[in-house]
Amino acid sequence: MKRSTKIILALVVLLIIARLLLPYIVLRYVNKMLADMGSYTGHIEDVDIALIRGAYQIDDLRIRKINGKVKEPFLYIPKSDLSVEWRALWKGKLVGEVECYEPELNFAFSEDEAASQTGKEVDWTALVKDLLPIQINRFAAYSGKVDLVNLFSATKTGLSMEKINVEIRNIRNVEEKAGRLPSPVVATADVPGWGGTMKFNADMMLLKQIPDFNYNLSFDDLQLTKLNPLAREYADIDFEKGTVSVISEMAMYNGRMVGYFKPLTKDMKIFKLKEEGEKRTVGRFFKELLAEGGSELLENQKRDQVATRIPIRGTVENTDTEVWPIILGVLRNAYVEAFNKEFDNTVTFQDALKNIKADFKAKREEKKAERKERREERKEERRQKREERKEERKKD
The per-residue pLDDT for range 249-286, each reduced to its tens digit, is 888 888 788 888 888 888 777 644 445 555 555 344 43
pLDDT of residue 296: 43
pLDDT of residue 19: 66
286 vs 156, 298, 314, CA distance in Å? 26, 18, 37
Whether residue 255 is contained in a domain is answered as no
pLDDT of residue 205: 86
Q: Is 134 helix (H, G, I), strand (E, B) or coil?
A: coil
The answer to whether residues 61 and 44 touch, using CB atoms and an 8 Å cutoff, is yes
pLDDT of residue 323: 42
The answer to whether residues 14 and 25 touch, using CB atoms and an 8 Å cutoff, is no
pLDDT of residue 116: 87
Using N-to-C axis directions, what is the helix angle for 282-298 and 324-335, rounded to 10°? 60
pLDDT of residue 273: 40
Whether residue 72 is contained in a domain is answered as yes
292 vs 270, 287, 295, 296, CA distance in Å? 5, 9, 5, 6
Whether residue 98 is contained in a domain is answered as yes
The answer to whether residues 169 and 138 touch, using CB atoms and an 8 Å cutoff, is yes
CB atoms within 10 A of CB 5: 9
Whether residue 296 is contained in a domain is answered as no
190 vs 163, 168, 291, CA distance in Å? 6, 19, 30
pLDDT of residue 76: 95
CA 71/CA 34 separation, integer angstroms? 19
How many structural domains are present in the chain? 1
Which amino acid belongs to residue 327? I
Q: How far is CA 112 from the centre of its chain?
A: 23
Whether residue 96 is contained in a domain is answered as yes
Contact residues for 266 (Cβ-Cβ < 8 A; gap 6+): 242, 243, 244, 245, 303, 304, 305
The answer to whether residues 310 and 261 touch, using CB atoms and an 8 Å cutoff, is yes
Instruction: Look up the domain containing 90 and give its range.
Output: 19-176
Whether residue 195 is contained in a domain is answered as no
**Which residue stretches of the chain have pLDDT < 70?**
1-4, 6, 15, 18-19, 174-179, 209, 234-237, 270-307, 316-362, 395-396
Model confidence pLDDT, tens digit, residues 337-374: 444 455 566 666 666 666 666 666 667 777 777 888 88
Own/partner long-range contacts of 278-283 (Cβ < 8 Å, ≥24 apart)? 283/236
pLDDT of residue 396: 62
Whether residue 231 is contained in a domain is answered as no
Whether residue 196 is contained in a domain is answered as no
pLDDT of residue 348: 66
Residues in the chain: 396
